[in-house]
A and B are shown apart, each in its own frame.
Chain A
Amino acid sequence: MSFDVVNYFSNLLNGNTIVYYKGNIDPDIINKVLDTVEEKMIRENEQSKLRKKVYNVLVESLQNLYHHVDKVPEGFDDKSYEKYGILAINKVEGGYKIITGNFIQTDNVEKLEEKIKRINRSTHEEITDLYKFILNHQRISSKGGGGLGLVDIARKTGNKLNYTFKEYNDKCSFFCLNILVGENN
């Protein structure tokens, strides 16, 4: 019996959820989420510095989903989706949390986790150098990503990337990324 990804994801949420979405991730949905979050932050009179950081990190998170999610596993309810993802933006004390969830082939877990661990053990200066190295040396992949999204998120937030991998079945896992964008970074 595989675990309930939607229920698992919901348990990660705390604070005041301003946007929640689950389903296919396509450019239209990305536009809608960005517009909604931007409008809400303006209405909340958030400082432009925080608004810009949240917007930037949100763009990268959503486009990471768009470019990188693996296929929905067999037996999952929502088979019709080509790129299935779950997303929540929470207003928390001192900032916003952006939480994403998506399926990943278990074979790809190790590589992604290694990348995150490398970012998490780096200082801010090392992350800046890593960003510049990838910018200058790596081509845009066939999936359309530049390999810079997570590095950029860590650099802009100044926070560690909080994440979990949960085994869904023998081939597939569920990846959640929990990013804090604070007022003081």
Chain B
Amino acid sequence: MEPIIIEGTPKTPTIKFDASQGVFEIKGRSIPENSVEFYKPLVDWLDTYKESPLNKTVVNIKLEYFNTSSSKCILDVFKRLEAIHKAKNDVEVNWYYEEDDEDMLEAGEDYESIIRVPFKMIEITE
């Protein structure tokens, strides 16, 4: 599978989805007006990946900001990961947040409570 690599912009995050390593990263700001347009190719790509995933998939989420419309799309991403996990593969989500950013920590905890995949909350200290 071809990896997906997308450079970040002020409104959309950097994406690195590498199927050969099983490491996926979403990093930066996700505040587009039309988030479905941005996330649909990623969700489609994950639908293909989940047919034959690696034994272990690691997902790193390092978001500085995301809007509520992205929050639904990120949930769609996590639902694909949940399906991979349910099919007896290892999946680990690393949710990064800056030390003073309780809102970002809470956002990670929201997903953790909805999605049945192990989450690790990782504080970034400067």
A residues neighboring B (CB under 8 Å)? 27, 30-31, 34-35, 47-49, 52-53, 55-56, 59-60, 63, 66-67, 128, 131-132, 135-136, 138-140, 144-146, 148-149, 151-152, 156
Contact = CB atoms under 8 A, between A and B. Distances in A.
A135 B65 contact: no
Given A31-B11, A140-B69, A56 B36 contact: no
Given A140-B69, A151-B68, 20 more contacts: A27-B33, A31-B10, A52-B65, A56-B67, A56-B103, A59-B65, A63-B31, A63-B69, A128-B110, A132-B110, A132-B113, A135-B72, A135-B114, A140-B35, A140-B36, A144-B33, A144-B34, A146-B71, A149-B68, A156-B103
Contacts of A138: 72
Given A27-B33, A30-B33, A59-B67, A49 B72 contact: no
B101 A49 contact: yes
B99 to A, nearest CB: 10
A41 B111 CA distance: 30
Interface string B6-17: 000011000000
Given A135-B71, A146-B68, A148-B71, A52 B36 contact: no
Contacts of B69: 63, 140, 144-146, 148
The interface size bin for chain B is 20 to 34
A53 B103 contact: yes
Interface of B: 10-11, 31, 33-36, 65, 67-69, 71-72, 75, 98, 100-103, 106, 110, 113-114
Interface core residue of B31, B34, B71, B98 (most chain A CB under 10 Å): B31
Nearest to A132: B110
A136 B75 contact: yes
Contacts of A128: 106, 110
Contact of A152 (B10, B35, B68, B101): B68
Contact of B75 (A135, A145, A151): A135
A60 B65 CA distance: 11
A80 B68 CA distance: 29
